[in-house]
Structure 1
Amino acid sequence: MNNRILISLLATMLLTVGCGSGEAIKIFDAAPPGAVTPPPSPETGGEEPDHVVTVPPVLNPDGSGGTVPPVTNPDGSGGANPPNPPPLDPAPPLTVPPVVVIPPSVGIPPIVADDSIAKAMISGDASGLDAKAKLTLLQQAQNIALDVRNFQTSTLSKILQKNGADLSQALTFSNSSISVSLQNSTSGMSFLSADNGNGMAALTQVGAGRGMAYGADVLGWMAGTSAQQQHLPLFTRAFTWLINGDPDLALPTSIKFTTAGYNANNVRALLTRLGSAGAEQKCDLPDVNNTCWQNADLLVFGGDTQDTAGLTAQVQKYLAAGKAVIYMAPNWIESSGGRKVASAMGMELGGYPGNYFQGATGLTISASRTSVDSLARADKMGTLIVTIQKLMDDKLDWDFKADASPTNPISQIHNELAALHGKGINLFQLPTMDLHKKLVLWADLWRPSIDKYGKMPPEQRATATDFLRAYASDSWVVFNRSKTSIAPLGYGDFMPKEAQNIAVSADWEDLDVTIAQGGGITAIGRAAIPGKTVTIQILDAAGGNLGLQSGYARSYGNPLSDGKKYAHPRRPISFNVPIAAAKDNVFVTPFGGPLYLNYNGMSGGSVVKLRVKGTAKYGHFDFTKNMSQTEIDAASAAIKSKTFGWQTNKFVGGEVHQTNAYALSVIGNTEPKDYVLNDLRARLFDSNHIANGYSNMPMAAAVSGLCADLSWTCDGAMHRAPGVQHFIGWIAACGWLCSGNPSDGFTGVASGWGWWHELGHNTVQRVHHIVPPGTAGCVVECDNNILSSASALRQYGLDNKLDWNGDRIDHKGLYQFIVDSRATGKTGEAQRLDMQNKLWNGGQNAMRAVHFQLGFLYTKYRRGMAVPTPDASLEYLTMLTKGDRLVSKDWTVANAAKYGMGRYTTNAITNHDLLYVLSSKIIGKDMRTYFAAYGLPLDQKSLDSIADLKLDIAPLTFYALAPGKGNQLATGTWLDIEAATPAYPF
């Protein structure tokens, strides 16, 4: 009790810093997040052996899950998420916590008032605190948590019960509703949540004022007599608390009210039903200059509330003056004004499209719900209080593998800090959230003591104290400030200790950052060094919204379960921090890492101009612009120095991010610049881009000439690479290599089937995806491997010593299907259908041989070559994919014939028909007999369109290659199969 009194006195003395319960429950004026688009679906699909796809966890608005907060505009309004950002850490599963019992004393001295802590709470700089402050900060944080918990539970228990008996909490929303949750665990009370945890209503007290929000118009329901009437007793008690501060007091006989964007008749009817006379006061509440609000007791906002610039602050002024504030969401549709009202009350409304896709358990509170259940659900502090006690214990005895529950509240605070970063809010510039400030400052003080990365298995009781303190210190980080602390021995496999000594720029440096697509993430070519402040200015945002972060990965391991003895910080990748124009944006990370722009609202091909200071150069190659030899040599030297933890590469259509150790493992004895230029660029990205006909690759003379002959536009914006494929060599999200964007693996990135395959996922085109009706077809994991085989073929053409994966294309198998189909004695359509069912339900390696046989035929008939070569065969794929895009983007009825589609009135065509008409144009022969031989059905319009071109029908031939020698084209031989099927020569 003495400590409580001291804290209260300290809160009175330190006007700018709240240490007691009063400050802890106030909410802050957060910039409104705006409309949030649903997170895009991750790339999925099965893979090779040990290559399994998992979808990263996505957190829900109530704190049991959610997405990484979106990039916001400089003015605080909303933005959109880039593709597949790294997930936040899952919050603990919903369980009823035990009654909090503080363990016996561990010799903690009484709290001592410390002016240096007060200063640090404002500056966010813990460097002026001494070692004794570690314990003081934890004690103060624990007392705040106790006060918040006592207020929340005592208030809710009074509302949920009447005369000692539980009131019914049964309630059902429709899908035309939205979730309501708290901005953070101290900003209010989770009043009602659905059976699956989805927030339905919240309450708050801000100074003398109180607030209530529902995710549906429950006030309107209670004003009537038909909808959800079982909820009226509970609603009445919550409403009475809102007006009186005590649910047991009688409502005033008359209540003056005013509304904004809400039907006043509903309020009047409710008050009449509850026994009070409603006296409406006409007032424009969103107008920041109005004074009429002072005449009302109750302010009710709805979804039609006008969105004004100062609305959040205005509503907070109403609350501070003791007004009762209500927000009732009308439906799931975005209300920017309503969102600001909720924000003023310390609450968050769910993102687009609200509860539209929620299942029944996310819309319903079961009739069996008890007050004990709801109090447990609402309790955000109980487990945190216990965890803080464990953090104080220098001799903690715990097995975190057997019971990881003490880490759950650490993740809760971690996620709340992430939400602040996503809105561009610096925790230490807020007048509230003292609990979070004290925990972050404690983490700063403890971090220099971390010296056991890679030596703390979660089950090892001897290092339990170190484990828990490292876990908390790693989690409670603020990046959008100027000071932090570091672990002097480095960060395991993420960043070596030597990185701390890398010099950073003292003067401003201008950077041009190439933007490849509308939204995403891209390396800027500079690094943040652990503990050193980065300052960044936006010179030209190129019309988009920008954020900054250090590191990029979708998976960063889990010290609780990955078996690596806590190999590196639990989340060394920073949160995304929105940055604004016309100001110095500061950033600092304890962990260091490459710096990235997180962007949206852009145009592909634009250039963002930045001015930076406090950054370092490292092993980064950027071939989206010209690199000087000096820059190339410097990047190579940085890799070999082993002083920085990461190596990155930026190409047209792709980026590679890998640990420096993994980079060196694939570089081997070669020079780093040779690896980047001749392997990553030439054999990984260039090969894929040649096969896909992208405009960043110069066209072969034969391709350029054929484009001119066919009057095809084969360069320019239509043929830009469609997006950026990210590769991460560090930790795989699944298996050994895991697909998606980013694609990641437990290995360095280099040319080879695995990474060719992953790049193919992001660049596959419809002409690769062949699925005849009623067959399995060449779909995901087959179609992208056409590009893998193309890369393998080109690699052999570049260096015939590198014959990789020639066994993954089965020409002999394709030929055998033809032989077997002819052996049935069937003819015509019956024979084609038999071949269709054999080949397109068979092995994928044989299916993929079709595209390469067509490529060999291109070399024979268009190029006049006796023996196909890798480069000439790939020219066919280049032309095919260019034609695919032209049909999609350039096709008109007037020019349809030049794409072999003269009989078509629209560009709607099946994939296999498109393959036929384009192949006929490219090869210069009518390929109908081949498509029949391959079992592919053709539409009469495509047959007639090619017939109109008066092309000769190509005689049937087959280029035979030995099994396993799919890349060694010079070893093959042509077979005439027009009238017979000779024995396969290999």
Structure 2
Amino acid sequence: MDRIAQALQSGDPRPLQPADALTLLDRATRLAVQLQTRQTGIVANIYRGGETLDLSLNHTTSSATITPIATMPSASVMVAPFILSDNNSGMAALSEVQTGRGLAYGADVLNWMANGTRETQHAPLFRRAFTWLMRGDANAALPASISFGTAGYTAATVKKYIATTGKQGQEVACDIANVANTCWQQADLLVFGAGVKADPGLTALVGKYLAAGKAVIYMHNNWTESAGGRQVLVAMGMTLGGYPGNYFAGAAGVSVSQARTSAQSVAQSDQIGNLPNVLRMLANDSLVYDFSTDRAPTAPIDKIHNDLAGFDGRGDAVFGSADTELYRLLVLWADLWRPNIEYGRGLSKTGSSAAFLRAYASDSWTHYSRSATTVSPKGQGDYMPAAAQGIPVIAEEEIVVSIAQSAGKTAIGRAAVPGKPVTVEILEATEGSSYGMQTSHIRTAGSPFEDMYARPRRPQSFAVPLKLGRSSTFVTPFGGPLFLNYSGATGGSTVKLRIKGGAKYAHFDFSGAAPSDTEIAEASAALLRKDFGWVTGKFVGGEFQQSMKYSSGITDPRAWIVGGIKGILFDSNHIANGYSNMPLSANVKTTCDSLGWICDGPLHRAPGVQHFVGWIATCGYLCSGNPSDGFAGIGPGWGWAHELGHNTVQRVMHMDFGSGRGCVTECDNNNLAVAQTLWAYAVQGIDQNAGRTDHVLLYQHIQANRATSLSGEALRSDMETRFWGGSASAKMAFWMQLSFLYTKERLGQAQPTVATALEYHNLLTKGDRLVAKAWDAANPGKYGMGRFADNKISNEDLLFVLSSKIIGKDLRKIFAMYGLPVSQKALDSVADLKLPVAERSFYAIAAGKSNRLATGQWVNVEGLVPAYPF
């Protein structure tokens, strides 16, 4: 066996020589042309008959899309969109799998044609498609008799349609969806509907039918999911659109207009497109092309890239399969070119056209489910330094990974070294859970079309499925921290893995038992060496991945990670959100006990994991989402606390009174950023962003409101407009004023402290969860909601009743002073508690000193509002 044939079978590019690159491109070009001719020829055979065909068709929204899984077919598998809607959504597709043929529609068109009930103009085209399915030529004559079997579909409909063609249909009594059946050989045609039962072996069974030369039809009759139908379609190289199908689609997504011509339909089916020309461009050392104004040549490269993502995502083998030669040729060519790439240093859309296009293609044509690949010896730009290629790997080890929630992604504390294979086996996991392995959890890597091609176009890998009790081998040319991609798990559980070939790097894990001093020291040393591109951290409710670019200034990793990211950023958020990973203070425990509230345990677990990436922002400077990313290192500071607040803020902090009034997004989450600034000052004496919380402005609103001489509801309404329609900095002060009131009325403190002020937020958010998850219908007054039949309550009412319970005073005068529109039902509920009514008061703090609580003083605003004392 020659070296190219050997590499095509094994997926190992190491035996290849640089001179083989042109041979691989030439073979791939000839194959792509062959596939294009074959694909468009088959579709043209159906569309271009001797008659004029009406191509219009309307599936209506009670349908689903049908599309090829692989938009770039291989030598032995031909999958093409047969009918695309006016907005290019898949309505029907056809395929050739070895000697068999398949046809699928996203609506039950076979039934319409059999009964002549709908879309009768489509009958001639459907007849030609059916003839091609049975004979391989739409112009051929159908056999006089067609034997068929069905599963999840009505046999009488199939027989009736065959009769419309003038032929005789013979039903074979056979359960063709039963993997143990042997009667399928008697049928020429196998018809599946959306009602077919799912079975782990169904895809392989239908694949066997196609390999044996059978004709297979699938008809989807509604917009809902069909697990069995999806399995049938996979065998045909197709996929069903996700739930809820076309239910919300517009007319252009489910229909073909009468203006469509056969030539246009054939052109739409061409999935090869400009690939042959692009392959010729890759072979041209002297290529000149202006990629700064025209990116068209990268489109076919992207299609192959997306197909390979599908192979990895499904766990399908590219190498070792006879149906994937085009992909294998291109992946091996990418391997051969990769060692020539040097990111940055002149690699640019305005530099050498050949070098740019080759780097783009090599970066794109990656396949991770194998044991060998190549790397650029000069590193992977600012994603991974060249030094990472020399990091030692561990021969074999078993590790336990904490799983925070039912589905998500989590770092495992080991890395893939560029070009070195990693073998992973799941030893223990939650029953019914599923897992995949990938490198990095990032949203963006920038773009090669920026001025400098600074890193691989997509350095993070796709997720490769893992199977319980079975080893999976994974390799990446770019390296990166390894993450589990999981679903169906139990929050708080663990997964035990056996890993071969993984490497240690700077990873700090606080998600389970606290890391030992030795583990922290080992991770700190790796961070200071800077021989790997990334540092990662895990906490209860949060994870981060940070580039070494933003870690270069860290001289004390322990202080940065333990004291800063965990001790300030996450701890302050978790205290304010009342999560159970933070211990109850004595005051909180006493208050919870007195109220009969359950304030610890699994009910108050951090509800999800917020991921941060310090490298490149998807938008702006810091960008919200999960992961949230930015052009900055992770650390205590307003920005990251603000982003963490976005994904952890609870509804009790979200006030929306309409007409642009309230504390909504970009205000409610900032209450948690305020908590961090207070905590940072209390713990480390860091006094930052003290002017963002404007107690002075809030007091001025009170003064202006009282000066109107209004009273009752008119006074409250004026304050609602004045205050809740104004600056967010004053709204953040409002939340702190409630916390100060807690320290005064509940605890009897002359001045609040940071710790006691945050106890109010801790209790408030615990109460929010208790109302949502532990509603006590027999005793609604436990949460201050005695007049409510259930836990359906507005946010402002919830804030009022919970705050009254927590502070131990009826806060009606306080809430009216701040303009909140509290309902009569909420007022009456609190009145039933017979709490003393709190007098109006305000804790004044000088401008810019909102973190320095000891500098403030209480002001009585029950009557006339005096001048601000600072």
Do Structure 1 and Structure 2 share a fold, with TM-score over 0.5? yes
Distance 1:270 1:903 in 2: 64
Which residue of 1 is the match for residue 579 of structure 2? 694
Q: Deviation at 1:787?
A: 0.8
Distance 1:956 1:240 in 2: 85
Which residue of the other structure, out of 759, 764, 767, is the alignment partner of 1:880?
764
Contact kept? 1:166, 1:370, Cα under 8 Å = no
Which residue of 1 is the match for residue 477 of structure 2? 590
Which residue of the other structure, out of 379, 392, 410, is the alignment partner of 1:503?
392
Distance 1:799 1:309, change over 3 A: closer
Distance 1:364 1:385 in 2: 32
Distance 2:264 2:780 in 1: 67
1:471 paired with 2:360, answer yes
Distance 1:976 1:602 in 2: 54
Which residue of the other structure, out of 180, 191, 201, is the alignment partner of 1:300?
191
Distance 1:237 1:678 in 2: 72
Which residue of 2 is the match for residue 346 of structure 1? 237
Distance 1:291 1:713, change over 3 A: closer
Query: After superposition, what is the alpha-carbon deviation per residue over 1:795-835, rounded to whole angstroms, capped at 9, x for unaligned?
Result: 122233x2211111121222122112211111112111111
For structure 2, the 5+ residue unaligned runs are none
Contact kept? 1:454, 1:492, Cα under 8 Å = no
Q: Deviation at 1:580?
A: 0.6
| Structure 2 letter corresponding to 1:532 | K
Query: After superposition, what is the alpha-carbon deviation per residue over 1:7-57, rounded to whole angstroms, capped at 9, x for unaligned?
Result: xxxxxxxxxxxxxxxxxxxxxxxxxxxxxxxxxxxxxxxxxxxxxxxxxxx
Q: Deviation at 1:904?
A: 2.9
Which residue of 2 is the match for residue 269 of structure 1? 160
SS in 1 for 2:656: coil
Query: After superposition, what is the alpha-carbon deviation per residue over 1:389-448, rounded to whole angstroms, capped at 9, x for unaligned?
Result: 111111111111211111111110111111111111221132311100111111111111
Contact kept? 1:334, 1:352, Cα under 8 Å = yes
Identity of aligned residues (%): 54
1:581 paired with 2:468, answer yes
Q: Deviation at 1:699?
A: 2.1
Q: Deviation at 1:921?
A: 1.9
Distance 1:897 1:308, change over 3 A: closer
Distance 2:848 2:647 in 1: 27
SS in 1 for 2:319: helix
Distance 1:409 1:579 in 2: 30
Which residue of 2 is the match for residue 677 of structure 1? 562
Q: Deviation at 1:775?
A: 5.3
Distance 2:728 2:345 in 1: 43
Distance 1:899 1:382, change over 3 A: closer
Q: Deviation at 1:576?
A: 0.4
Which residue of the other structure, out of 821, 824, 829, is the alignment partner of 1:945?
829
Which residue of the other structure, out of 741, 744, 757, is the alignment partner of 2:626?
741
Distance 1:322 1:614 in 2: 43
Which residue of 2 is the match for residue 771 of structure 1? 656
Q: Deviation at 1:132?
A: 2.0
SS in 2 for 1:212: strand
Contact kept? 2:343, 2:380, Cα under 8 Å = no
Contact kept? 2:466, 2:472, Cα under 8 Å = yes
Contact kept? 1:737, 1:754, Cα under 8 Å = yes
SS in 2 for 1:697: coil
Q: Deviation at 1:908?
A: 2.1
SS in 2 for 1:128: coil
1:553 paired with 2:442, answer yes
TM alignment of 1:509-548, pairs within 5 A: 509-543=397-431, 544-548=433-437
Distance 2:657 2:171 in 1: 69
Moved more, 330-339 or 571-580: 330-339
Distance 1:306 1:822, change over 3 A: closer
Distance 1:258 1:616 in 2: 54
Contact kept? 1:220, 1:266, Cα under 8 Å = yes
Larger RCO (CA under 8 A, 6+ residues apart): 1
Distance 1:464 1:628 in 2: 52
TM alignment of 1:803-814, pairs within 5 A: 803-814=687-698
Query: After superposition, what is the alpha-carbon deviation per residue over 1:623-668, rounded to whole angstroms, capped at 9, x for unaligned?
Result: 1122111111111111111100001111111011110121234x3x
1:630 paired with 2:518, answer yes
With the length of structure 1 as denominator, give the TM-score of the two structures: 0.86
Distance 1:907 1:384 in 2: 59
With the length of structure 2 as denominator, give the TM-score of the two structures: 0.97
Distance 1:173 1:531 in 2: 48
Distance 1:118 1:904, change over 3 A: same
Distance 2:170 2:730 in 1: 80
Which residue of 1 is the match for residue 40 of structure 2? 153
Which residue of 2 is the match for residue 856 of structure 1? 740
Q: Deviation at 1:532?
A: 0.7
1:957 paired with 2:845, answer no
1:662 paired with 2:546, answer no
SS in 1 for 2:691: helix
Contact kept? 2:661, 2:721, Cα under 8 Å = no
Query: After superposition, what is the alpha-carbon deviation per residue over 1:214-271, rounded to whole angstroms, capped at 9, x for unaligned?
Result: 1111111111223111111111111111222222222233323332222222222222
Q: Deviation at 1:794?
A: 1.5
TM alignment of 1:538-937, pairs within 5 A: 538-543=426-431, 544-560=433-449, 562-563=450-451, 565-624=452-511, 625-665=513-553, 667=554, 670-772=555-657, 776-800=661-685, 802-937=686-821
Which residue of the other structure, out of 125, 142, 154, is the alignment partner of 2:12?
125
| Aligned Cα root-mean-square deviation (Å) | 1.6
1:423 paired with 2:320, answer no
Which residue of the other structure, out of 161, 183, 188, is the alignment partner of 2:69?
183
For structure 1, the 5+ residue unaligned runs are 1-113
Distance 1:395 1:321 in 2: 48
Distance 1:429 1:906 in 2: 61
Which residue of 1 is the match for residue 254 of structure 2? 363
Distance 1:691 1:586 in 2: 43
SS in 2 for 1:382: coil
Q: Deviation at 1:517?
A: 0.8
Q: Deviation at 1:600?
A: 0.6
Contact kept? 1:195, 1:364, Cα under 8 Å = yes
Q: Deviation at 1:454?
A: 4.7
Distance 2:646 2:169 in 1: 63
1:971 paired with 2:855, answer yes
Moved more, 371-380 or 450-459: 450-459
Q: Deviation at 1:773?
A: 6.0
Which residue of 2 is the match for residue 138 of structure 1? 25
Distance 1:920 1:293, change over 3 A: closer
| Structure 2 letter corresponding to 1:778 | C
Query: After superposition, what is the alpha-carbon deviation per residue over 1:542-570, rounded to whole angstroms, capped at 9, x for unaligned?
Result: 2311111011101111112x33x110000
Query: After superposition, what is the alpha-carbon deviation per residue over 1:434-468, rounded to whole angstroms, capped at 9, x for unaligned?
Result: 100111111111111112445222122xx111111
SS in 2 for 1:664: coil
| Structure 2 letter corresponding to 1:199 | G
Distance 1:207 1:719, change over 3 A: closer
| Structure 2 letter corresponding to 1:827 | S
Query: After superposition, what is the alpha-carbon deviation per residue over 1:734-754, rounded to whole angstroms, capped at 9, x for unaligned?
Result: 111101111100111111111
